[in-house]
Amino acid sequence: MTAMTPEAAVAHVLATNPTFAVAPTTIRGIEYTAFQNIPPTVPTLMDAGIAQHDDGNSHYLLYADERWTYGAFCAEVRRVANVLGSSFGISKGDRVAIAMRNYPELLTLVLGISATGATVVFVNAWWTTEELDYALRDSEAKLVFADGPRIERLLPLRDELGLTLVGVRDGEGMVDHSYGPLQSAASDAPLAVQIDTDDDFAVMYSSGTTGHPKGVVQTHRGAVNAVFSWLMQAVVAPLIDPPEPDAPEPPRPSALVVTPLFHVTATHPLFLLSLVAGARITLMEKWDAAEAVRLIKTEGITRFLGVPTQSADLMQAAHAANETLDTMDYLGSGGAKRPGAQVGELAQAFPNAAIATGWGMTETNALGIGMIGEEYLNRPESAGRLHPPVQELRLLDDAGNDVADGELGEITVKSPSNMRCYLNKPEATEETMQDGWLRTGDLAVMDSEGYVTILDRKKNIIIRGGENIACLDVEGALHRLPDVIEACAFSVPDDRLGEVVGACVQLKDGATLTHDQMAKALHGHIAKFKTPEHLWTQTTPLMRGATDKIDRRGLRTVCLDNEKAKA
């Protein structure tokens, strides 16, 4: 077979494979390009995947020493859907929240809730009671499935918010309802619910420039168009880089989930994609690089997608174990930019794995830009090119004009995978979504071949190990401290996590504040990962810019320079 260019390969698949046929489609009054022959909703992805999973007989899900066949997994999903209706009266249009670590029940709940026509509300498992209070008020979810630690944080809210709590795993027995007994006694008959492809699938909370996180409303069409964009890449890849004539059949895809399932990096390109890709899923109880090496080796894992910190940890653990993890054919990163120097090191450490990178957002259902293999090795600082075929990309200046190749502009994307809106935030929605185009807040340059390099963020976001942290969220918490007059949060480079939180505060005359005192005072008000790891204090006003606003960048530079001088 003669190798094709990426453009020719995409055109060939679109012309010859009806699964990936696209056409102009009007969504909420705006014309997009969208897939025409794919499953219309998230729960129908599960049904469409039966054949890819040996008619449901193949092993699909592994957690610790527990294993499910695909058929058993689907049956549990249907039982969950029936329980939601029969025991809790959940129906189309309701919202149901999930608050737990990466347990198998989280996956069955996502599909079970979706099958009723209700909307899944993903809750960050690291949030405090105060942060949970905001999200549940904002989403109006009254039914929450939660594990033990989350039950403890939710109990103070139960009566005031009128919550019904269902305990999962170590949460069973802590409240009136428990997941295990409920689902095991339910029918596994499929529900007959009419769900439109443009109905809401999920609300995922993503930190923004405001103090509270924004609820990103994703539709079924948005999620499944993202899934089939990634599935199409697997069809296009061998046309671009044909295998040798005598090459053996590639192994069944098998993914290791190492990032939280309340983020799109894990839910969409790993879990939802696995349904129609015929892939196995292995969940880790918690991130442990040595355990990840063991699982990849013993379970024949082929696909690893995590934040860059986890790639580095995995490489170090593999070196320590003298392993090259030869079953792994894909090693991707998401959630944050991988250091360019790490790309070649990973390729050397894992010679059978194609090293990949990607950029996407909660607001785009994780769909966006990416690259893999030689093109990434040759451009380690780039984010890649736009994933075809349903997306459009522009780089815009502040006035909304397209910039020339090589000039700095804001990444702006249009696709059916874009969010419907920010929940209860019409002004933020209008600012971000303009005639179908999503202004991302990320500043980048693009070369003549379409490769995008991200250089900065217009939004004041700190990305700590793939976790987005709003500076104003941190500052709001710091202002709770009685001796703090004003506060400014910013990113501090970190070799392992990429960025961590730093803060400079102005204190009242005569006051002092140590890092330990600050951390103790903030405990319970913001999640631990948001608490500043570096603290600078002063009794004079913080640095100002020309408009008398705090000069975040200038203050950050001064603080970091002072730290270097001390070292």
Check pLDDT > 60 for residue 33: yes
Pick the range with the lowest mean pLDDT from 96-110, 139-153, 324-338. Answer: 324-338
Question: What's the chain's average pLDDT?
Answer: 94
pLDDT at res. 210: 52
pLDDT at res. 436: 97
pLDDT digits (tens, 9 = 90+) for 304-351: 999 888 999 999 999 999 999 999 999 999 877 888 889 999 999 999
3-class SS letters over 190-251: CCCCCCCCCCEEEEEEECCCCCCCEEEEEEHHHHHHHHHHHHHHHHHHHHHCCCCCCCCCCC
pLDDT at res. 547: 61
Mean pLDDT, rounded, for 51-76: 98
pLDDT at res. 393: 98
Check pLDDT > 60 for residue 208: no
Contact yes or no for 145/168 (Cβ under 8 A): yes
Residue 95 lies inside a defined structural domain of this protein: yes
pLDDT at res. 258: 96
Boundary-marking domain end, from 218, 251, 268:
218
pLDDT at res. 144: 98
The β-bridge partners of 177 are 166
**Is residue 270 left, alpha or beta, with left meaning phi > 0 and alpha meaning psi from -120 to 50?**
alpha
Residue 344 lies inside a defined structural domain of this protein: no
Residue 274 lies inside a defined structural domain of this protein: no
Contact yes or no for 444/383 (Cβ under 8 A): yes
CATH of the domain at 95: 3.40.50.980
Check pLDDT > 60 for residue 23: yes
pLDDT at res. 548: 67
Cβ partners under 8 Å of residue 346, min gap 6: 311, 315, 331, 353, 355
Residue 394 lies inside a defined structural domain of this protein: no
CATH of the domain at 555: 3.30.300.30
pLDDT digits (tens, 9 = 90+) for 425-478: 999 999 999 999 999 999 899 999 999 998 877 777 898 988 888 887 898 899
Full domain range(s) for residue 529: 461-566
Boundary-marking domain end, from 218, 253, 285:
218
pLDDT at res. 495: 86
Boundary-marking domain end, from 182, 200, 218:
218
Contact yes or no for 377/410 (Cβ under 8 A): no
- The pLDDT-based confidence of 545 (bands split at 50, 70, 90) is confident
Domain count across the chain: 2
pLDDT digits (tens, 9 = 90+) for 367-410: 999 999 999 999 999 999 999 999 999 999 989 999 999 998 99
Mean pLDDT, rounded, for 201-222: 86
Check pLDDT > 70 for residue 218: yes
Structure tokens at 70: 């695909």
Residue 490 lies inside a defined structural domain of this protein: yes
Report DSSP letters for 54-78, one per residue.
GGGTSEEEEETTEEEEHHHHHHHHH
Residue 202 lies inside a defined structural domain of this protein: yes
Residue 292 lies inside a defined structural domain of this protein: no
Phi then psi for residue 555, to 5 deg, are -65, -40
Mean pLDDT, rounded, for 92-108: 98
Residue 414 lies inside a defined structural domain of this protein: no
